[in-house]
Amino acid sequence: MKNLLLVTALLFSSYTYSQNLTGKQLLEKAVQYHDPNDNWKTFNGHLSITMEIPNKPNRDSAIFIDLPNQFFSVKSTIEDNTSEYIINKDSITIVFNGNKNPSEDILKQNNLSKARASLYKNYYTYLYGLPMKLNNPGTIIHDTVEEKTFKGKTYWVLKATYEKEVGKDTWYFYFDKHAYNMEVYQFYHDESKNDGEYILLRGEETINDIKMPKIRVWYTNKDDKHLGTDILKSSKP
């Protein structure tokens, strides 16, 4: 009977805490874990990332992010070809196999464009800036914190949506219930259709005193199809 009462008390305590913990409070605790010295706002550093995609060659990328000076570059190699996007404030430069002025035909053949350069910048600064990026203007942090079990582990779950000029997707972020580190996130374009993807995070790499996920494994929500794996290898150029 004592054991039953203890379990009941623990369960009730967990439930009560989740009701008292607001979305903003959970985000604050998560940011404190990942970026305790508030370094993301002035981030200036290199990321070395290997992307593994099933049945395709690896993409090795050297990325430089300098937020204070609005500079971003990504140099990616796939087999024998190397492409580079350089964004310096409003200026975008595209380099292909050392050619700083590739022809329109080369750009088209290799799917290179200024729009794609901006996409890569947004992709890498968003994902590797999480959860700090959730404090950005236009992000709507929902007050209710849910307690969910995902892949056998129970998490505190934060829901985020966006003002229409920022984005249309719905995101869920899964945090360890004790340390508040981020271990999973998931997004939907239309949640009623169970579309979108979930991403499992494993290990950590500390760069500029920020704890970043070392490995991200991407799956579809609908059928758990493995889409690819990002591996953060080092912070050196």
Whole-number percent of the chain with pLDDT over 90? 89
DSSP the chain: -HHHHHHHHHHHHHHHHHHHSBHHHHHHHHHHHH-TT--GGG-EEEEEEEEE-TTS--EEEEEEEETTTTEEEEEEEETTEEEEEEEETTEEEEEETTBSS--HHHHHHTT--HHHHHHHHHHHHHHTTTTGGGGSTTEEE-SBPEEEEETTEEEEEEEEEE-TTT---EEEEEEETTT--EEEEEEESSGGGT-SEEEEEEEEEEETTEEEEEEEEEEETTT--EEEEEEEEES--
Instruction: Report, as an integer, the average pLDDT of 54-74.
Output: 97
pLDDT at 20: 84
Task: Quote the mean pLDDT of the chain.
Answer: 92
pLDDT at 19: 56
pTM above 0.85, yes or no: yes
- Joined tokens for residue 89: 């404030």
Write out pLDDT tens, residues 131-161.
999 999 999 999 999 999 999 999 999 999 9
Q: Which amino acid is at 177?
A: K
pLDDT at 9: 45
Q: Identify any residues that bridge with 72 across adjacent strands, giving them in sequence order.
A: 65, 87
Whole-number percent of the chain with pLDDT over 70? 90
Write out pLDDT tens, residues 5-22.
444 444 444 444 445 899
